[in-house]
């Protein structure tokens, strides 16, 4: 995922879509949860700057 090339208003939808694809592809749960943690951490970092 290239967050810099995606307009900010589409990032949330793209992230949710990516997570859905990972779940649908039967990726291991820990891999999907790692992605969720990375997204939440990134959002948390952005809001606390």
Between the CA of residue 48 and those of 13, 15, 24, 43, 45, what are the distances in Å? 22, 20, 32, 9, 5
| pLDDT tens for the chain, residues 1 to 49 | 444 566 766 787 888 888 889 888 888 889 889 988 988 898 888 788 7
Query: What range defines the domain where residue 22 resides?
Result: 3-47
**Number of separate domains in the chain:** 1
Between the CA of residue 4 and those of 8, 11, 36, what are the distances in Å? 8, 9, 19
The model carries a pTM of 0.58
């Amino acid at each position: 995922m290239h967050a810099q090339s995606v307009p900010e208003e589409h990032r949330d939808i793209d992230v949710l879509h990516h997570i859905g694809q990972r779940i649908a592809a039967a990726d291991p749960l820990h891999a999907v949860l790692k992605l969720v943690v990375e997204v939440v951490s990134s959002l948390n970092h952005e809001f606390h700057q």
